Amino acid sequence: METWEEGLPPVALVPSNSKAPQENMSAQESCLSLIKYFLFVFNLFFFVLGSLIFCFGIWILIDKTSFVSFVGLSFVPLQIWSKVLAISGILTMGLALLGCVGALKELRCLLGLYFGMLLLLFATQITLGILISTQRVRLERKVQDVVLDTIRNYRADPEETAAEESWDYVQFQLRCCGWHSPQDWFGVLRGNESEAHRVPCSCYNSSATNDSAALDKVFFPQLGRLGPRSRPRHNTDLCVVQKNGYIYREGCAQSLQKWLHNNLISIVGICLAVGLLELGFMTLSIFLCRNLDHVYNRLARPRPPGPALPRAPPRPFQVS
């Protein structure tokens, strides 16, 4: 009786195109690793930047006297700005820390929170931009009312001088006087009807004369006393100059408009750069968050078995 000895058909245990998925997986892993370390490095940079901003704000609080003499602001406005810097530094550090840890440890929850905070920040910036562009006239009127109210109540309350000293600093930096013109000050700083109109020394145009005595009185009236602010400045400490003296003739509204016009390209460029940077970080974080588990699940999944080999029929017994 004949035995079944036919050869089995050759079966490939590994598909001929098995290298293609492996190459694709390797490329995807490399891309994800690049994105992960890119996010880590840039967020580490912003974490260091936030730390510097925070430390600078704390430094201002600790060493007020030196900064008062340097920037010309009094203690109260300087204290406000130092708190703003400290809070901004803490927020920057917290956001960057989420990105660093989430990218390095490949934690989807932190990456999702990082994406959500960036999206909220981006939406807030867009909303502010729209409100400023659509409500520009109302905003200008509001700023004008605040400034004119500050001028009318200039040093009326010796305990509240932060707004007045801040406006003095604005006039000094923008080289302007009053909101519309120096006439906004006329009648505010007059002791009696016989005195001529006077304006604050922050309106003093130091470039028009070599006399810097009035300029020294603008921002340093109390540095010769105790270093810290021991008591508020009273009306007797005011520095004023005559309206016919060397003062700025242009109002701060015009100076501010000129400054915005001259720096419009820089402001728009900075806003666009910040927006694009946030969009880039959001895109990378959500891409990394959505693909981490997918790739690692495919790597951990056992390889599917190959095609089943045909089973040979049982070998029959040979009968002699």
Of 155, 158, 159, 156, residue with least CA distance to 201:
155
Question: Which residues lie closer than 8 Å to 163 by C-beta, 6 or more apart?
Answer: 150
pLDDT top residue among 282 and 62: 282
Q: Which of 204-213, 230-239, 247-256 has the highest mean pLDDT?
A: 247-256
Per the structure block, which two tokens stand in for 83?
A: 């708190």
Identity of residue 287: F
Could you give the CA distance from residue 198 to residue 154 in angstroms, rounded to a whole number?
13
Residues 221-236: what's their mean pLDDT? 38
pTM of the complete model:
0.67
**Is the pLDDT assigned to residue 43 strictly greater than 90?**
yes
**Is the pLDDT assigned to residue 301 strictly greater than 50?**
no
How high is the pLDDT of residue 16? 47
CA atoms 22, 24, 25, 29: torsion sign: positive
How high is the pLDDT of residue 191? 57
Vertex 129: Cα angle to 124 and 130 (nearest 5): 100
The model's confidence at residue 228, banded by pLDDT at 50, 70 and 90, is very low
Could you give the CA distance from residue 33 to residue 28 in angstroms, rounded to a whole number?
9
The model's confidence at residue 221, banded by pLDDT at 50, 70 and 90, is very low
**Across the chain, which distance is largest between two alpha carbons, in Å?**
148
| Burial class (CB within 10 angstroms; exposed 0-12, middle 13-18, buried 19+) of 58 | middle
pLDDT in tens, 126-154: 999 899 889 888 988 999 999 999 998 88
- What is the distance in angstroms between the CA of the first residue and the CA of the last residue of the chain? 9
The model's confidence at residue 236, banded by pLDDT at 50, 70 and 90, is very low
Mean pLDDT of the chain: 75
The model's confidence at residue 5, banded by pLDDT at 50, 70 and 90, is very low
**Is the pLDDT assigned to residue 114 strictly greater than 90?**
yes
Structural element, H or E, at residue 42: helix 19-62
How high is the pLDDT of residue 220? 46
How high is the pLDDT of residue 157? 76
- E strand residue ranges, the chain: 198-200, 240-242
Assess contact for 78 and 68: CB atoms under 8 A. yes
Assess contact for 39 and 285: CB atoms under 8 A. yes
**Is the pLDDT assigned to residue 277 strictly greater than 60?**
yes
High-pLDDT (> 70) share of the chain, %: 66
Assess contact for 177 and 256: CB atoms under 8 A. no
Assess contact for 1 and 316: CB atoms under 8 A. yes
Residue-wise over 136-172: b if at least 16 C-beta within 10 A, else e?
eeeeeeeeeeebeeebeebbeeeeebbbbbbbbbebb
Structural element, H or E, at residue 142: helix 136-152
